[in-house]
Amino acid sequence: MAPNSRIELARRRARTAKATLGALTALVFGVAFVGAKTHAPGHAKGKATPLGAPPSFERAVRTNALQSGQIAPPASPPVVSSATS
Amino acid sequence: MSVDRFRSMGCDVAIAGGAPAAVAAVLERWEETFSLFRPESELSRVNRSPAGVLTVSPLFARALEVALAVADATEGLVDPTLCGRRHEVALAGRLLARPPRLPLDLNGVVKALAVDEAAAALDGPGFVSVGGDLAVRGAVEVALPAGGAIRVVAGGLATSGTASRGGHLVDPATGRASESCWEQVTASGATCLDADVAAKAGFLLGGHGPEWLDARGIPGRFVGVDGAVVENDAWAGAARKVQPCT
């Protein structure tokens, strides 16, 4: 009876260990899955960043968007006038 | 230089170097699409539409695209919604999406775009001026508000302000007519559009106008409500520069 009992105890310990390992694995997988979904929905390794140009570049483009014309001192009487439109 | 004059887009038009009928046809095409005074213009119909997404004509899409770019370039000073809601307007090709009944006003760019298109169609050296906003092909002497003149060698020249039509420039920050310290602002641009946008922005910025234009290398001339004339550094430098003999 004693050897049977020892085998039975060992089997029970093995079952418990397997169940614990399985539960732990499922828990780790679940936490990782939810964490990835919550913190980086578009990428597995990090936070998604926009593909647009950096703000400094956008500022530079905005500053240079309007271009100057060419003016000079008049050389003859005006033929047309610029007035409020 | 022979100058032809007529009226279009609610303004006095002066042209040299091209056929008046051809220029009038260009201006009429823009007017019939964008006039807010014509109930059947495309802009009036878009503004009346309760739909959130609309298909617009290629000309409308082009003008709106420019207007949105101008709004970005001026940090919202010249805004097609006139109320700082330009980010709610989206354009993809000819598909326009905007909150239903959010009115658009493209007057900030339409006249200048029409002038640039008309000037590109001139037969040779000359100019097109609509209400004082002009684009040149070849050098042209232009009289300025409050006296004086300038030679526009290339590009365009435009004046914005309150002198002729009262407070028609809306400050998007308040949604009301601007209370600028300037009566008229004249700016030089690579195109009439650039000049017009620069003049409007310089006007709406009030006391900061001259330095804002200087930061972009754009010549600007400011006539205050008291009649005093202020030239920014870019204007003063260009207007006094002696042209080398060629």
pLDDT tens digits along B43-86: 999 999 999 999 999 999 999 999 998 888 888 888 888 888 88
Asked whether the beta carbons of B146 and B229 are under 8 A apart, the reply is yes
pLDDT score, position B40: 93
Domain boundary among B54, B73, B108: B108
Question: Is B189 within a domain?
Answer: yes
pLDDT score, position B208: 92
pLDDT band at A38 (very low <50, low <70, confident <90, very high): confident
pLDDT score, position B78: 86
Q: Is B220 helix (H, G, I), strand (E, B) or coil?
A: strand
Burial profile A22-54: b = 16 or more Cβ within 10 angstroms, e = fewer = eeeeeeeeeeeeeeeeeeeeeeeeeeeeeeeee
- Cβ-Cβ contacts under 8 Å, A66 against chain B: 73, 189, 194, 197-198, 216, 218
Is B103 found in the same domain as B132? Answer: no
From the CA of B100, how many Å to the nearest CA of chain A? 28
C-alpha span between A82 and A85 (Å, rounded): 9
Asked whether the beta carbons of A76 and B138 are under 8 A apart, the reply is no
Q: Look at A85 and B144 and tell me if their CB atoms are within 8 Å.
A: no
Q: Which two tokens stand for residue B242?
A: 């002696």
Which residue is associated with the tokens 């029409």? B114
- E strand segments, chain A: 70-72, 80-81
Q: Is A55 on the interface with B (CB under 8 A)?
A: no
**What DSSP state is assigned to residue A35?**
H
Greater model confidence, A39 or B108: B108
C-alpha span between B142 and B233 (Å, rounded): 20
Asked whether the beta carbons of B180 and B146 are under 8 A apart, the reply is no
Whole-prediction pTM value? 0.76
Task: Give CA separation, B182 vs A30, B93, B200, in Å.
Answer: 66, 38, 11
- E strand segments, B181-225: 182-189, 220-224
Question: Is B7 within a domain?
Answer: no
Is B144 found in the same domain as B60? Answer: no
Question: Is B29 within a domain?
Answer: yes
Q: How far is C-alpha B107 from the chain's CA centre?
A: 8
- Cβ-Cβ contacts under 8 Å, B197 against chain A: 66
B84 Cβ partners below 8 Å, 6+ apart?
Answer: B76, B172, B173, B175
pLDDT score, position A5: 87
H or E segment and range at residue A53 = none
Question: Is B171 within a domain?
Answer: yes
Question: Is B93 within a domain?
Answer: yes
Greater model confidence, B171 or A6: A6
Chains A, B: CB contacts within 8 A come to 151
Is B129 found in the same domain as B104? Answer: no
Answer whether residue A42 shows pLDDT above 70. no
Is B233 found in the same domain as B141? Answer: yes
Question: Is B179 within a domain?
Answer: yes
Question: Is B136 within a domain?
Answer: yes
Q: What is the mean pLDDT of residues A21-44?
A: 84
Tell me the pairing of strands B133-137 and B140-143.
Answer: unpaired
Answer whether residue A46 shows pLDDT above 60. no
- Cβ-Cβ contacts under 8 Å, B157 against chain A: 69, 71, 82
Is B91 found in the same domain as B181? Answer: no
Mean pLDDT by groups of 10 residues along chain B of 246 residues: 89 92 93 92 93 92 91 86 86 90 88 94 92 92 94 95 62 68 94 94 92 94 93 92 60
- E strand segments, B56-173: 90-92, 95-97, 126-130, 133-137, 140-143, 149-161, 170-171
Asked whether the beta carbons of B86 and B79 are under 8 A apart, the reply is yes
3-state secondary structure B76-110: CCCCCCCCCCHHHCEEECCEEECCCCCCCCCHHHH
Is B98 found in the same domain as B151? Answer: no
Q: Look at A85 and B160 and tell me if their CB atoms are within 8 Å.
A: yes
Residue ranges per structural domain of chain A? 2-46
Is B235 found in the same domain as B134? Answer: yes
Vertex B193: Cα angle to B102 and B41 (nearest 5): 40
C-alpha span between A57 and A52 (Å, rounded): 10
What total number of domains does chain B contain? 2
pLDDT tens digits along B189-202: 999 999 999 999 99
C-alpha span between A23 and A11 (Å, rounded): 18
Is B91 found in the same domain as B169? Answer: no
Range of the domain at B200: 125-240
| Residue of chain A minimizing CA distance to B168 | A85
pLDDT tens digits along A54-84: 666 666 666 567 889 999 999 999 999 987 6
ipTM: 0.84
Q: Look at A84 and B152 and tell me if their CB atoms are within 8 Å.
A: no
Question: Is B180 within a domain?
Answer: yes
